[in-house]
Structure 1
Amino acid sequence: MTVRPRRWLTLALAPLVALSFLAAPASPASAEPGGSTSTSPDESGGSVGKNNATLDDVLESSNRRFVAAKAAVTKSTAAQKRLAAEIKTAEARRLALLPEVNAIAGQQYRTGHLGAAGFLLGSQNSDDFLAKAVSLEEINAMQDRKLAELNKAIDDVNKAKAALDAEVRKQQTNLVAMKKQKDAADDALALVGGESLTHGLVLANSPKAAPAPRNSDGGFSPESCNVEDPTTNGCITARTFHMYKEVKKAGFDRFVGCHRDGGPFEHPKGRACDWSLQDKGFAVAHNEDMRRYGNNLMAFLVRNADRLGIYYVIWYKQIWFPASGWKTYHGPSAHTDHVHVSLL
């Protein structure tokens, strides 16, 4: 029979290991909001990135990702409950093993760390030697088993806590994703007047207009009406002419009229244009093509308002100001047959 050498150092350190775990009781797992974002869902996929995606596409895609993130949060919550139960079980096992391991370590300390050779050399005869050898083997086996059980219990606790921390981080990431999708949908709707104004018939993105010249302070100074109006025999400002060219470049090439000698708004000042929904004259939007054209033109102007120096936009009984967003419009015209834009 081969007698295994005793791991005295392991036993000597066992009380310290046990005390260190007793001194640091388990606390609820936590994670900083800025934790791993590897599970973070994809924010640019699907139809949203396409040039012809409508606002309906944006809302549908955002809503689907919101629902997916919410489901992931629910799954993480369930996983956290399961892991918390596993931690409780593993910690109970660890606490149950600590007295036994401490007792073994204490016994070894009291006996002066008697070595295997000294223990066996004290035998009276061969039978006594054999009995002691068997006893020593059994003691070592029991001690090794208890230490192994304690180490496994400690490892189980640590693994469960690490998994719980990962679930918390995953949940927080998905909560952020949920908020981001909700905010993105709300912002997309608010910018172009909401679902009630567009009925979803509007492109999710508009081309970026070339910025109009600004003054040395970065603002837009008042301009005189000194540029020939390409739509009438009147005049418009240089800023209005720049806007006119950018709108045309963006593909809005139906009928438009800018300067008007009389009437309200900025038309007599050469600082406004009315963009029709058809190739000639003006007619109330009575089909999806006209409504979509008006929506997309309005969205282009609003999204590029800062670049073009836009004062306000009126479309379909609603008026948009850069400072206050969309409001109900109660003017002499409902503006259901054209998009009006005024420049600073």
Structure 2
Amino acid sequence: MALLVAAPVTAGAAPKPAPNEGGSQSLRAALEAAAKGHIEAKAKLDNSKKRQLELRLELEKVEQRLVTVTAEMGVVADKSYRVGRLSAVSMLLNSASPDAFLERAAGLDTMAQRQNQQMRLLTETREQVTRAKAAIDNEVKEQQKQVTIIARKKQDAERALAAVGGAAAGGFVSANSPLAKPAPRNPDGSWPSESCTIDDPTTSGCLTPRTLHALRQAQAAGFDHHVSCFRSGGGGEHPKGRACDFAAAEDGFEEVDAAGSDRQYGNNLAAFYIKNAGRLGVLYVIWYRQIWMPGTGWRSYSGGGSPAGDHTNHVHLSMV
């Protein structure tokens, strides 16, 4: 149960207050829009690729059925041509009895019905092939559309980051980061729309279910330093219950740059959220003068020179 609530701080010590992260409201809005747009377009792109694969498999089956029906139609047409050349008079003249005549006539009627059925089946199968090809073409267009959107959102993010550094950075990545339990997605792979409806265990505010899930997953992975999530005012995701600040120091938010084990703690936590970004719905992560976004990767970031603004004393997590 200790993993499901805010981690305690040193006995007898009150946690230092959450930092004033700095940065303009317009910057936070631009970062949110760019990252969210990228994530939404990527989900649609992945769904379109999946749908195109399904359509291509369906097309292969229909085309194989078309070959079979066409061959069967040829057999029916050939037999109908050879048998059906006899007129009603010639059948009567060549029939030994009225019963033989009726049997011959019934056979020709059955042959005509079978020919009509095969013709309808052939027409329907050809139409299925046409529809499947058209659906694939539409999915290809959808993919091209989403690729264009992704490229545009990346440019938007780079323009916003240019004001706070923005150069490519090494970032924080670890192959040893544990995997988080995925958060629920919609059937098409997109993230469900969520509002601030759950009590925030770190403050008196609220969180979205997805943000609380991300917090609990980090705590379950052993990240037990102090956390502060909901914060009223200031813009960004905190007032929406979609952001958390994780102190690098054990006893809260120190007004100094994290060093030694505290800095390594922050490195590991940032790497954890990057590795699980697609599983949890991470919008962006800021840590130690660097910011990670899904469209840009790690970029340099300057928030005004203070430990809080530069995020050198805490890891900031924003969620979709």
Place the TM-score, normalised by the shorter chain, in its bin.
Answer: 0.3 to 0.5
Higher Cα Rg, which structure: 1
Query: TM-score, normalised to structure 2's length?
Result: 0.44
Query: TM-score, normalised to structure 1's length?
Result: 0.41
